[in-house]
Amino acid sequence: MYELVQVTEQTYYIQSPAKIGLVKLDSDNVCLIDSGNDKEAGRKVKKLLDANDWHLSAIYNTHSNADHIGGNKYLQSNTGCKIYAPDVECAFTRHTVLEPSFLYGGCPMKELRHKFLMAQESDAEYLTSEVLPEGWEMIDLPGHFFSMAGFRTNDDVVFLADCLSSRETLEKYRITFIYDVGAYLSTLETVKAMNARVFIPSHAEPTEDISGLAQYNIDTVNEVAGKIVEICRTPTNFERILQVLFTEYGLIMNFEQYVLAGSTVRSYLSWLKDNGRLSAYFEDNILLWSSEG
């Protein structure tokens, strides 16, 4: 773990739970795409930088989930690097309590205030095309989170952040975190048609052809949506829907899974309702979801 893998003459990635991109800007300076999940990740990245006599000039965060920004504070404190994050992700990066608060839908209990959901805060600035290295392209990848971005480097390597999951992850869990299901599917269709020298997803292996994995992610989303519609043939509430999904997919509930999968299932319900596949109504002061009629 945390091995430096060279992709092209100037582009690398660091093998970690969420892959970290590293791009040489010149003989002395490099930038990162994301920073890992915590202070220890930042420390290991700094060790790699020092071993190669590289100076870190900037971190470009794809989005604000804790496993992508967790090394920000340590690296910024020890190198003075700039940190950039897109749109609303910038606010979440500067004020990291927003992530567990958003996921829970209220003030998060202490069981949700840990490094996997709440990174250390860092001094991020807004990511715009003007602050990118010369020749880079920023790619909008909405759906997984609010304003996620990917990057195409000037040597045609595309970093895809969390816009898709590996087959292994999907086969094990089926339900992966999605904020906006409609936007997520649109992003996957866009990614499926892309060409690049190499694609580097954060949670899947690098590949020269991303289309098959993108389609598998699309198929999995549609499968989960279909299962929710089937569950709702008998009008039922959110807690029951979540329970049935966890039971049928063999998942184990805990506080973290409750907010991550729960938020995702609520996003599915919103999308299905907005597209006319579900209706919702209140009965005895309980919100029920139904696919009848």
- Rounded CA gap, 128 and 120, in Å? 23
Given 110, 138, 162, the domain boundary residue is 162
CB neighbours (10 Å) of residue 52?
Answer: 13
Q: How many domains does the chain have?
A: 2
Is the pTM higher than 0.85? The answer reads yes
User: Would residue 135 be called left, alpha or beta, if left means φ above 0 and alpha means ψ between -120 and 50 degrees?
Assistant: left
Report the pLDDT value the prediction gives residue 293, as an integer from 0 to 100. 62
Same domain, 156 and 239: no
**Which DSSP helix (H) or strand (E) runs through 290?**
strand 286-290
Q: Residue 49 — pLDDT band, cuts 50, 70, 90?
A: very high
CATH number of the CATH domain containing 112? 3.60.15.10
Report the pLDDT value the prediction gives residue 292, as an integer from 0 to 100. 83
Residue 221 lies in a domain: no
Report the pLDDT value the prediction gives residue 262, as an integer from 0 to 100. 98
Taking only the tens place, the pLDDT of each residue in 80-129 is 999 999 999 999 999 999 999 999 999 999 999 999 999 999 999 999 99
Same domain, 58 and 149: yes
Taking only the tens place, the pLDDT of each residue in 174-204 is 999 999 999 999 999 999 999 999 999 999 9
Same domain, 148 and 257: no
CB neighbours (10 Å) of residue 243?
Answer: 14
Across the chain, mean pLDDT equals: 98
Residue 148 lies in a domain: yes
Amino acid identity of residue 29, one-letter, is N
Mean pLDDT for 14-43 is: 98
Taking only the tens place, the pLDDT of each residue in 254-285 is 999 999 999 999 999 999 999 999 999 999 99
Residue 180 lies in a domain: no
Give the residue numbers spanning the domain of 246: 231-290
Residue 217 lies in a domain: no
Pairing of strands 4-6, 11-14: antiparallel
Given 138, 162, 186, the domain boundary residue is 162
Query: Which residues make Cβ contacts (< 8 Å) with residue 23, sequence separation at least 6?
Result: 10, 11, 12, 30, 31, 33, 133, 153
Residue 87 lies in a domain: yes
Same domain, 235 and 130: no
Cβ(222)–Cβ(189) below 8 Å: no
Same domain, 20 and 143: yes
Residue 76 lies in a domain: yes
Given 135, 162, 189, the domain boundary residue is 162
The residues that bridge with 31 in the sheet, in sequence order, are 23, 58
Mean pLDDT for 211-224 is: 98
- Rounded CA gap, 289 and 15, in Å? 42
